[in-house]
Chains A and B, each alone.
Chain A
Amino acid sequence: MIFEMIECGGCRTCELVCGYHHTGVFNPNKSSLKIVNRRDDQPGFLVEIKLFDDDIASGCDGCVNLEKPLCVSYCHQDLDLLEMIQSVLDEKCNKKSDLLNIKEN
């Protein structure tokens, strides 16, 4: 899922801590979340959050073992990011239940 984040400054700390959450080392390539440069001259950045695992990185699990997601803890726009993570988790739940329905049918 891709979100617009006008107030994002592009420090990419969220990518680093997310990579740390999944691997225990600082590797932004393993992050579920990517900060993407905008090409349309609009302010801010795009935030791309992966729902499910792929060949490179793991899908967002909302840092279930923590009080709040690590990326949110290290973002100065924490409320915006929290909202995005929540949307991702909701979408993930919907897709999972859709998949289950397909299998059952």
Chain B
Amino acid sequence: MPKFSKNSCYAGRILRVNLSNGEIKTESTYKYVNDWLGSAGIAIKILYDELEPGLNPYDPANIIVFGTGVLQGTTAPGACKMTISTLSPMTGGWGTSASDSYLGGHLKRAGYDLLIVSGKAHTPVYLYIEDETIEIRKAENLWGQTTWDTVDILHNDLNDPSLNVICIGPAGENLVRGACVIQDKVRAFGRCGTGAVMGSKLLKAVIAKGSGAISIAQPERFLDIVKKSRTRILNTENTKTFQKYGTYGAYELKQENCQMNYKNFQELILPDKLFKVLDTRKIIDRYQIVALQLYAHRHV
């Protein structure tokens, strides 16, 4: 097992925020990193150690862990994922939801590999993180707003349209079990009902802004590997299809291989008529998320 040093992509600190009493503290990431890899790995260990058996996911004793990937904030292709882990209202067990994220990079550059939120606020709040400034701010004016409106209001209030925000909408506030956490209007932490857990803590949004840096032990060697990986990825045939259609590129393949979840997973192949109707491989808009480097996301 390799030993991780202080120049090993990790920011080095875990930020803990208790919404019940407003306590904010940090601890070292390095006590976990040699045994548990990445944001989800460390989160699983923390959830296992700190949650009591039989806990209700909406109990203030549940914790929600926002984690950044090991390579997030570097140039590694695809290293753009952030995760949210908690005791899931969907399953009653461990749940981790991942999403492409600019916010994760900011959280890491602010100096935190993980953000652990525990307790429950007395009134709706949002978390504002800017390097060493950690603030639990009132969010009464945001409560009840949709995710898009919340992002707009925060951009206006804080006078910074470039801020990256993750937030919940009315579904999360009303503890709908499958509620998502939405990031910057476009990406979603869609699985395991992490939005409902945020709602149970009256935590409307998280904003992070980091001005620090991510260092790597052997940067030249790392960049060389990144360049080779990029060339390899960009030259494969699948990448070209992916660039053209996004994940819709695998539409036919999924139908052939029984991977089309239909009627709440009761069927795995779409009926022929529906297959043709849903084949909307026309591009209306497109954008790419940080570090993905494939230029493959499409809004259809």
Give the B-binding residues of A (Cβ under 8 A): 9-13, 16-17, 19-20, 23-30, 37, 39, 43, 73-74, 76
Knowing A13-B75, A37-B162, the reply to whether A73 touches B227 (Cβ < 8 A) is yes
* Residue from A11, A26, A30, A76 within 8 A of B214 (CB atoms): A26
Q: Is the CB of B213 within 8 A of A11?
A: no
- Asked whether B84 is an interface residue with its Cβ less than 8 Å from the other chain, the reply is no
Smallest Cβ distance from A89 to chain B, in angstroms?
A: 23
Number of chain B residues close to chain A: CB under 8 A: 28
Smallest Cβ distance from B152 to chain A, in angstroms?
A: 12
Q: Is the CB of A9 within 8 A of B75?
A: no
11 extra A-B contacts, CB within 8 A, seeds A11-B291, A24-B215, A74-B226: A9-B286, A9-B288, A9-B293, A10-B290, A16-B73, A17-B223, A25-B213, A25-B219, A26-B74, A26-B215, A29-B211
Interface of B is mostly: loop
Knowing A11-B290, A76-B234, the reply to whether A27 touches B212 (Cβ < 8 A) is yes
Q: Is the CB of B291 within 8 A of A23?
A: no
- Asked whether B139 is an interface residue with its Cβ less than 8 Å from the other chain, the reply is no
Q: Mark B269-300, 1 if CB is under 8 A from A, else 0.
A: 00000000000000001111111110100000
The interface residues of chain B lying within 8 Å CB-to-CB of A17 are 75, 223
Q: Is the CB of A26 within 8 A of B73?
A: yes
Can you list 9 A-B pairs, Cβ within 8 angstroms, ordered by A? A9-B288, A9-B295, A10-B288, A11-B295, A12-B291, A27-B109, A27-B211, A28-B109, A73-B227
Complex Cα distance, B227 from A52, in Å, reads: 28
The interface residues of chain A lying within 8 Å CB-to-CB of B162 are 37
* Residue from B211, B227, B295 within 8 A of A74 (CB atoms): B227
Smallest Cβ distance from B183 to chain A, in angstroms?
A: 14
- Asked whether B216 is an interface residue with its Cβ less than 8 Å from the other chain, the reply is yes
From 194 to 214 in chain B, residues with beta carbon under 8 angstroms from any chain A beta carbon are 211-214
The interface residues of chain B lying within 8 Å CB-to-CB of A11 are 288-293, 295
- Asked whether B13 is an interface residue with its Cβ less than 8 Å from the other chain, the reply is no
Q: Is the CB of A43 within 8 A of B288?
A: no
Closest chain A residue to B293, Cβ basis? A11
The interface residues of chain B lying within 8 Å CB-to-CB of A37 are 161-162
Q: Is the CB of A12 within 8 A of B290?
A: yes
The interface residues of chain B lying within 8 Å CB-to-CB of A29 are 109, 211
Smallest Cβ distance from A30 to chain B, in angstroms?
A: 8
From 73 to 119 in chain B, residues with beta carbon under 8 angstroms from any chain A beta carbon are 73-75, 109
Complex Cα distance, B71 from A80, in Å, reads: 28
